[in-house]
């Protein structure tokens, strides 16, 4: 459902905060030279998951050597023209955090972190340590998720889902005082778990200037939501992004869903970016182009619906029409028949093609 004027009004104070604090947040991620020219367009960055096969890879490859850490990722992304990176923080040492900051400043790139929420009160210490490491490296925005899997695969009953929801809110409540204390923005991704309205309600109820959304442009197609309606709902709350385009095709149990090259799928990327910039001019756009086999979304199976309660059948009908009318032409991207070296090459090609599209069509 598109947010109405009352919801938009409710978001106005958050938008004001974002606009007022935008330059301060940028000060943690960009060198001073940017401000002498005013706020300017930063090239699209890269999410670490875009290199899911290459990051920490054990594959021996001369042409596509594995990235052993964030420094390797950052240097490579700079070499291919990316404006920054979003990467995992867990396992960093204090001295490594300082090295990342030095390299980030030298390369004039933005940095966003990615960490896990505290699972319990005993886990808050670990969470705070990672927040401090990310801040030391220059990350003013930290992405997180409530679920590392997929709603329709992880949970078999509404009771299981309700327990997950309760625990997730408790984790966010444990995290909030830490990010408020250290003035770091925590951004919760719509990660094939929450519908857009569910996540928006959770963020609004937390009522914290320091907790917002990592807006993934395509994940919620798997929950039968129109990607542009998701973006319209969550853009007012966005602190960071996962930019992607999605291809869909029919499948006997529902449909297939796959990340595809930007501009070749069902997401209106130009409108999406304009909406995000409207609410948060300081927002960075980070590519998450995951190279893998298509995901099977079994929305015609009874088990798919076990956590949704009275979810509207209109969502299913609209999604099936979308698949019929805008089915991806040709085969969806796949890696199952490729050698290890071919997979690495395909992954790199996808990232390069997407960054090139962004430079020409989106963030020029």
Parallel, antiparallel or unpaired: strands 286-287 and 45-47 = parallel
Which residue matches tokens 């182009």? 289
Alpha carbon distance 61, 10 (integer Å)? 52
Got the DSSP string for 2-52? ---HHHHHHTHHHHHHHHHHHHHHHHTTS-THHHHT-S-----EEEGGGGT
Task: Answer yes or no: are the C-beta atoms of 154 and 304 closer than 8 Å.
Answer: no
Q: Which domains does the chain have, with CATH numbers?
A: 5-362 (3.20.20.150)
Q: What distance in Å separates the CA atoms of residue 87 and residue 75, rounded to the nearest whole number?
A: 13
Whether the per-residue pLDDT at 28 is higher than 70: the answer is no
Give φ, ψ of 88 to 5 degrees.
Answer: -70, 145
Instruction: Report whether pLDDT(310) > 80.
Output: no
Question: Tokens representing 350?
Answer: 């996808």
Q: What are phi and psi of 362, to 5 degrees?
A: -115, -50
| Maximum Cα interatomic distance, the chain, rounded to a whole number of Å | 58
Nearest to 193 by CA among 146, 240, 160, 227: 146
Distance from the Cα of residue 297 to its chain's centroid = 20
Count the alpha carbons within 13 Å of 341 in the hemisphere toward its beta carbon: 4
Residue percentage of the chain with pLDDT more than 70: 89
Q: What pLDDT is stored for residue 364 in this prediction?
A: 75
Q: Is 256 helix (H, G, I), strand (E, B) or coil?
A: strand
pLDDT tops 50 at residue 14: no
Give the single-character DSSP code of 67: B
Contact call for residues 125 and 116 (beta carbons, < 8 A) = no
pLDDT of residue 121: 98
Helix spans in 147-194 (H) = 151-154, 158-182
Stretch 34-55: mean pLDDT: 79
Percent of the chain at pLDDT above 90? 85
Per-residue pLDDT, 87? 98
Query: pLDDT confidence of 16, banded at 50, 70, 90?
Result: low
> Helix, strand, coil: what percent of the chain each, to 5?
50, 15, 35
29 has pLDDT over 90? no
- 156 pLDDT more than 70: yes
Euclidean distance between the first and the last CA atom of the chain, given in angstroms as a whole number: 31
How many residues in the chain?
Answer: 364
- The count of other CB atoms within 10 Å of the CB of residue 306 is 17
pLDDT per residue over 235-287, tens digit each?
999 999 999 999 999 999 999 999 999 999 999 999 999 999 999 999 999 99
User: pLDDT band for position 217 (50/70/90)?
Assistant: very high
What local confidence, expressed as pLDDT, does residue 39 receive?
Answer: 56
pLDDT at 313: 82
Quick check: helix, strand or coil at residue 122? helix
Span 278-293, pLDDT tens digits: 999 999 999 999 999 9
User: Quick one: tokens of 236?
Assistant: 């007012």
What's the pLDDT score for residue 94? 83
Single out the residue of 14, 4, 11 nearest to residue 209, CA to CA.
14
Name which residue leads in pLDDT, 2 or 357: 357
pLDDT surpassing 50 at residue 37 = no
């Amino acid at each position: 459902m598109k947010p109405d004027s009352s919801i938009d009004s409710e978001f106005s104070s958050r938008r004001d905060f974002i606009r007022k604090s935008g330059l301060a947040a940028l000060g943690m991620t960009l060198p001073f030279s940017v401000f002498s020219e005013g706020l300017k367009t930063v090239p699209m960055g890269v999410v670490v998951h875009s290199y899911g096969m290459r990051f920490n890879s054990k594959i021996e490859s001369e042409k596509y050597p594995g990235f052993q850490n964030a420094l390797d990722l950052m240097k490579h992304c700079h070499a291919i023209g990316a404006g920054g990176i979003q990467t995992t923080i867990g396992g960093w040492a204090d001295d490594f955090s300082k090295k990342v900051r030095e390299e980030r400043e030298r390369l004039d790139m933005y940095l966003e972190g990615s960490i896990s929420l505290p699972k319990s009160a005993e886990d808050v210490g670990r969470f705070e340590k990672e927040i401090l490491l990310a801040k030391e490296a220059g990350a003013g925005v930290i992405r997180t998720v409530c679920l590392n899997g997929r709603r329709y695969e992880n949970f078999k009953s509404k009771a299981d889902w309700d327990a997950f929801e309760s625990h997730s809110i408790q984790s966010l409540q444990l995290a909030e005082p830490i990010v408020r204390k250290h003035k770091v923005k925590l951004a919760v991704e719509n990660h094939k778990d929450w519908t857009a309205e569910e996540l928006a309600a959770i963020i609004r109820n937390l009522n914290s200037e320091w907790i917002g959304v990592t807006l993934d442009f395509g994940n919620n197609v798997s929950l039968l939501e129109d990607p542009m309606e998701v973006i319209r709902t969550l853009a007012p709350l966005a602190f960071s992004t996962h930019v992607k385009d999605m291809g869909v095709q029919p499948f006997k149990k529902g449909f297939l869903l796959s990340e595809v090259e930007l501009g070749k799928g069902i997401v209106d990327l130009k409108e999406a970016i304009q909406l995000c910039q409207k609410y948060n001019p300081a927002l960075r756009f980070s590519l998450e182009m995951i190279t893998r086999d298509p995901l099977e979304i079994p929305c015609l199976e009874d088990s798919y619906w076990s956590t949704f309660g009275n979810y509207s059948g209109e969502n299913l009908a609209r999604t099936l029409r979308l698949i019929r009318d805008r089915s991806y032409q040709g085969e969806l991207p796949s890696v199952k028949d490729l050698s290890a070296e071919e997979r690495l090459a395909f992954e790199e090609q996808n990232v390069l093609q997407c960054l090139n599209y962004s430079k020409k069509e989106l963030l020029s």
